[in-house]
Structure formats: structure tokens, C-alpha cells
Amino acid sequence: MKKTVSFAAAALALSVNAAFEMDKSVMADKYWEMWNDGVQAKIDADIEKFRKADGAFEVAAPDGAEVEVEQVTHDFFFGAHIFNFNQLGRKEWNDRYKELYGTLFNSATVAFYWRTLEPYPYAQRFEERYEDSEEYWNYEYERNPQAGAYKPNWRRPAPDPVISFLKTRRVRIHGHPLIWGNNAWHTPTWLWDDFCPESEKRALEAATGVKMPVRDVKQPICTKDMRNDPKERWWNEAWKAIYKQLSEEEIAALVPTFVKAQREFFEKRIREIGERYGSRVDSWDVVNESATDWANGKGAKNDLPVTKSHYGLMPANYAYNALVLARKYMKPDAWLNVNEYNMDAFPGQIADLERNGASFDVVGSQMHLFNPAESRRIAAGEFTKETLRKVSPEGIRKTMEEVAKASGGRPIHLSEITITAPDNSPKGQMVQAVIMRNCYRAWFAVEKMNGITWWNVVDNCGAPGEPSISGIFTRDMQPKAAYFAMDDLINREWKTKTTVKAEGGKVAFRGFRGRYRLTWKTADGKTESKMIHLK
């Protein structure tokens, strides 16, 4: 039977009591042939098998008394990044955004991008400054709603106030990332500009004929389309040309001061973050998106002096060494993640890291459906090989099996999820919600999965070049169909609430893993309760 949702009502207010009603007619028959009743039943069976547990607990309740069983928290991590903390432009929007953490999301990814965390050498930006404040962003939004999006600290709030806020909400904290080669988003320009001597730059140019780009430390972190930014292309192309002419040993011999400084700054970064946040952050993306370098290189651990990274020159064995350093400087029980989007190379890389004795706890896998046209084609029942791998039940199963097989039994964290709407019409929003709901259910059913993290919560708040309508809220913080679909799964379908009878001072039940409140009445009519953890 066709179900519909009132989009007018959805736009009026954010309410955890508003149930999601799915309109299956927005998707073509070919889509539902993939996500048929048999597939859905298998997903339900796997969720029942892998996400639930049986438990028996002591209660001071008389025999036959009814005990209310109410799940309070999930062990499974339902997360989102919190990059737009206090940045949305109006207090009511910021308050609504922050309220999601602890009600919808029990995990938050906090920005630790090096380029904005240390904009100048030895000048850490851990504490809030005026340009991080709500007052500043409200002023910028009123002045020009689009201007703030291209400021260096857009989507990069100072970590201290964000982490303090999340602690008050009892939300799990995930740091992202420690080491990443990307020069547009992560590596500070001063590392090359200030710590590679001019004599070494000129020696490299003389040996290759390749003029190295000079990159201004004051340039914004991003342009409107960083993927086509001429300076970034120049930087990458320059190194590619050098790689063709020189070996790793020859490059290292020409720029020895830089090679040493780069390695030392990488360790300094991990050490200083560990000293300040190691006891406050629960898990880390220690190394981000390094599988392409692994596939193009000589393995996870080798004797070469540098890595010919596709990002630009990187330290030798940087992925492996980042894990070694993170284990040294982070708290012993912090989970160390290896995070990746290149699913072709990733299983091989994590197996190689494992063989070489790298210490890590979680494997992070991404899925980005960036193109609105791609979502439109999926709704129409038109699939490419890549979209089938991303959004079909069989493709999801095979990808997760490959990752799980290579991970050595480690948990899998779906660390970055983007599912954009074809458009923001009622139908387009419903298409996004349907794709999201089916994918979340399939991911939740994977045995080794321990968390799913949605990326951009609010429309038009992604990084430049990312889709503007991939949020579960509109830019003015009105909930979209995808919000209601997600809330329905997390706070209804996957939350146990039942009543059982006490027998012999105990109650037994089956439910989703997490913390529960048990409530009952004693023989004299008093209400008592206790908290328990169903593992």
C-alpha cells in the first residue's frame, strides 16, 4: 500500500514524535526488484541476529509484577560530523542543530584538519576565538549568507568548545583526521613554504626542470570548486612530473631538510593532539584516504626514504608510521581507525598493514553519492556498475564482505555517508529518504558494523564542490524526509521498548544492545527503577 508524508507538516517543526511514512512510488519498479520483500526479510533476520542480544537481570520486584523495559542508549554508533557548530547564522538554527547530538546522533565526528588547526607553524588553534563564535557567524550570515562558506574556518570550528559541548550531551567523540596527504584540505602550505630551504627547492628544479609552485600561506582553505583549483592542480602536476624523472632516493637527497622537517612535524602533530585530547576523544581517523598511495607504491612498509604520494611528497611509510605514533600518544583504550573511500585498493592495504604488524582497531569505509543526477537515475531504475556497488543490497553485501575479510575481524565504521537528493522537491526529498533508509538497514545488518556516520547534516553546508542538497535538513534547519526516515529507524524501529514479568527476582528479554531503564512497582506500590547494560 502506498504511503505518503505531509511535507508541509514536516517543515513546521522538528519533532521526534513525527513518524516517517514512505512513498514507494517515487522509485521505479526496477529499484524495488532489487529491494524486494525477500531481501528485506533477510536484512531483518540479520539485524535480529547481529544487533540484538538476550539478557536476564535481577530486579527487586515481586513475582508476576510487570517490569517496563525501555532502551535509553544504543551500543551501535549513529553519528554525523559536527563541522557546522555555531556556524549556521541564527541562534535558533544552531540550537536545533546542536539538539540532534544526543537525541538522533550518539556519535560526532570533530574536525581536526591540520591546515586550519595550525594555520601558522607552532600556532595551534585549539581554543575558541572570536571568528569561531556564534556572534561572528550570525553577523556574517546577516551580512551575506554565502560569504562565510569560503572563510578558512568554515566547517572547521575550534575543537575545545565542540568537545566540551559533546561531553555535556554524553555523545561519543571521533576525531578526523590526524594524517592525510591532501594539500587542499589538510596539509598546511607553510610546511613546504617555510621548511624546505630555497636552496633545496632550486636544486629540485635544476634537476628536473619543473618549477615548484609557490603557495601563499594566506590563501583561503578552499575556492568555490577546489577540485578544479589551478594552484592545487599545479601542485599535483609538478610532483607527478618530478616522480617521472627521479627515484625516491634521488628526491630525498635533493630536499633532505624538508624530508626531515616533514617527518618531525607529522610526529609533533600527533603528539600535541594526543597530549591535549588523548583522554577526551574516543576514536580517531589516524590515517585518511591513503589506499591509492598504497596501490601505487611499494606496500605498507618499505625501506624507501619518502613516499611518492599522489597528493605530493609524503613521509616514508606514512600510513604505517601514523598508526605507530597514534598508538604511542593516544590513550590506551582509544580506537584507532584507518579510513578510506577507494574500495578497490582498501582491502589490500588493510591486509598489508595487518601483515606488517600495524596496530589499529577499526576499519573506516566511506560511501558518497554526490551527484544529484545519479540519485535521479537510481530512482528511475537506471544503474551503473558503481551505483550498484553503492546502493544495491548485493553490492553493499559484497563490499562489506571484502572489507571484513581483509580487516582481520575488526569492526567496520561507515565513517562518511553522503546521499544527495535529486532536488529538494517533495518527490526529490522522498527519493533521498528511500535510498538512505534501505542503505542504512543493509549496513546495520552487517555483522562487523559498529557505526554509521552521516556526513553533511544541513543543506548547502558541505565543502565547496559537494552537493548543496545532501543534508537531512534544509539550510534554515527544517527537517526533510530523510531526517524523519533516519529518526524512525534509530529511535523507533531499532529501539526496544517492552513489558515483561518478574519471576524469581529476575526479568529476561531480547533487545537491541545498549543501556536500559527497568521500572516496576514494589509490593507496597512504590515505583523503583534500575539501569542495566544489555551487551
pLDDT digits (tens, 9 = 90+) for 278-314: 999 999 999 999 999 999 999 999 999 999 999 999 9
> Could you name the CATH architecture of 7-43+74-491?
Alpha-Beta Barrel (3.20)
Q: According to the model, what pLDDT value does residue 405 have? A: 87
The strand pair at 66-74 and 412-419 is best described as: unpaired
Is the distance from CB of 489 to CB of 498 less than 8 angstroms?
A: no
pLDDT digits (tens, 9 = 90+) for 172-224: 999 999 999 998 889 998 999 999 999 999 999 999 999 876 655 444 444 44
Domain ranges of the chain: 7-43+74-491, 44-73+494-535
H/E/C letters for each residue in 372-403?
A: HHHHHHHHCCCCCHHHHHHHCHHHHHHHHHHH
Global confidence as pTM: 0.93
pLDDT digits (tens, 9 = 90+) for 457-482: 999 998 877 778 999 999 999 999 99
Average pLDDT over residues 436-448: 98
Q: According to the model, what pLDDT value does residue 17 have? A: 57
Residue linked to cell 529501539:
495
Average pLDDT over residues 354-368: 95
Please indicate whether residue 336 or residue 224 has the higher confidence score (pLDDT): 336
Average pLDDT over residues 479-490: 98
Buried residues in 311-326 as b, exposed as e (16+ CB within 10 A)? bbbbbbbbbbbbbbbb
**How far is the CA of 346 from the CAs of 185, 289, 294, 350, 464, in angstroms?**
21, 9, 9, 6, 26
Ranges 145-149, 273-277, 359-363, 376-380: which has the least confidence: 145-149
pLDDT digits (tens, 9 = 90+) for 239-254: 999 999 999 999 999 9
Share of the chain above pLDDT 70, in %: 92
Reported as half-sphere exposure (CB side, CA atoms, 13 A), residue 156 has a value of 25
| CATH 1.10.150 correct for 44-73+494-535 | no
Q: Above 70 in pLDDT, residue 380?
A: yes
Helix (H) or strand (E) holding 531: strand 527-534
Q: According to the model, what pLDDT value does residue 212 have? A: 77
Q: By CB neighbour count within 10 A (0-12 exposed, 13-18 middle, 19+ buried), where does 235 fall?
A: buried
Average pLDDT over residues 252-261: 98
Please tell me whether residue 279 adopts helix, strand or coil conformation: coil
